[in-house]
Amino acid sequence: MKDWARYLTPLFVFVAAIATWQWRVYALGISPLVLASPSDIWGAFFAHWDVLGPALLFTVRITAIAFVLATAAGIGLAVLFSLSRPIEYALYPFAVVLQVTPVVAIAPLLIIWLGYDNLTEVLVVLAWIIAFFTVLSNTLTGLRSADHNLLDLMKLYGASRWQVLWRLELPGALPFILTGMKISGGLALIGAVTAEFVAGSGTDLGLGWTITLASRNLDTAQEFAALALLSILGVSILFAMTALEWALLHRWHESAVKRER
Amino acid sequence: MPPLLTLSGISKRFDSGTLAIGRLDLEVAAHEFLSLVGPSGCGKSTALRIIAGLLKPDAGTVAFPNGKPEMGFVFQEPTLMPWQRALGNARLPLDLKGVARSEGDDRAARALKRVGLSGFEKAFPRELSGGMKMRVSIARAIAAEPKLLLMDEPFAALDELTRQALNDDLLKLKEEDALTVLFVTHSVYESTYLSSRVVVMTPRPGRVAAEVALAPPPARDENWRLTPDFTQQAARVSAALRQAMVAA
């Protein structure tokens, strides 16, 4: 497929879908309470930007903090686990328990522990819980995937454990870490929004709570506008992570190297 | 003169229960080129790893009467770090030994030049051919100026012409650096061309079945491969290998 076709095809499908949506809503006379038309949603962006703008920034902030913490904790714990099996055996089950327990069930406890005055922190913790395991799991797999012959070579040359980690295991794990981060970025956003659904957002208003309020007010257009912002944010995170992956891997890793045709 | 290396009564059984080496006794003299040949699974690579200290034998001893020499290891695969350029890969042993970066760069570049890779210092492994990757692997092994070079079927995956070129380069390096080379191979012809002595191992569990002393000419090239002298010496290695298989 030619390069222009790669970009124009989804654009064409998107425009066609929007046009069909617009036409069907008007042609069938669907109530705006049930399904807002694209033009109504576009209008809602401007009409409610005073709410949507700050909500977007708030959600971006929660997502970014949760993502950074998830990445740091995921990589840090994975390194710790790879250095010490006893620590892994002791702590990994807790990580798994955190991962498999629905945040909906944890949220009330966190609110009790951190208090209603600190709902922002509650949101960060909940989003972090959702986002961190994938980084941990991928990084650990990456660290364990070091070439055994290279490990032998390191041993032959008397490398210290730190040298093995720094020179072989971590660089080799980079594609795995980036894959974990790519998934984690999206999960942090999902976590930030889901956390707002279950914990509220306190004095600040994020996109999750904006959707809840718009739904209660039967303002379907605003609800769709908030949803659109979430989609744009999610896609932006994916693009940013893909760009980072390309920047770090395109010279040497098969997943990012451009193939000759 | 005491040997560089002595293996006495080495045996090794893997966790799977496979007895890889039965009882292996072997002496390697300084500056000799010794090839270990034998069928697949006879414990050649295991013996090499035991000598390198990468595996512990279940019984027996590995002794270096003159002290443990600096060792280099070349695997069957190039085993390069894909994220490092050729220079970074060749510099690895120097980095691990704490050699200063600039000196390490110089020595690694010199090693690459010696294996014919001058100008490819900045290439990533994926940009190199199979033969060039193996040359980087050899450059890495010689960069730290080893006395004992352990090579585990290093040229097995290469085409015949590249393999012959690397055989000649290896002999040149051995002479220039006064190396002792312990070379594992399946190839009767390769072992004949390279070695001053060939040790033939039995099928698993491996032990020494025969030793064949060879008398290669001082200067070897592709023409020697076509001579009756080469053919006769290869025939002796081949006969010893066949006999080891039959006896087992």
Helix (H) or strand (E) holding A49: helix A49-83
A115 to chain B, minimum CA–CA distance in Å?
47
Task: State pLDDT tens for residues A22-59.
Answer: 999 999 999 988 999 999 999 999 999 999 999 999 99
Of A150, A157, A254, which is closest to B81 when you measure between CB atoms? A150
Q: Is the pLDDT of residue B247 over 80?
A: no
The residues facing A225 across adjacent strands are: none
**What does DSSP assign to residue A165?**
I
Q: How high is the pLDDT of residue A257?
A: 74
Helix (H) or strand (E) holding B209: strand B208-213
Whole-prediction pTM = 0.90
Q: Both tokens of residue B108?
A: 């690694």
Q: Which residues contact A74 (CB under 8 A, 6 or more apart)?
A: A132, A133, A134, A135, A136, A137, A138, A139, A180, A184
Task: State pLDDT tens for residues B65-85.
Answer: 999 999 999 999 999 999 999
Chain B residues within 8 angstroms (CB to CB) of chain A: 49, 52-54, 71, 73, 75, 77, 79, 81-84, 92-93, 95-97, 124-126, 144
Q: Is the pLDDT of residue A1 over 70?
A: no
Question: Angle CA(B77)–CA(B83)–CA(B86) in degrees, nearest 5?
Answer: 65
Q: Both tokens of residue B221?
A: 């090239």
CA distance A13 to A50: 31
How much is the ipTM here?
A: 0.92
Interaxial angle between packed helices A170-199 and A119-143, expressed in degrees from 0 to 180 and rounded to the nearest 10: 150
* Cβ–Cβ below 8 Å for B97 and A172: no
* Cβ–Cβ below 8 Å for B124 and A251: yes
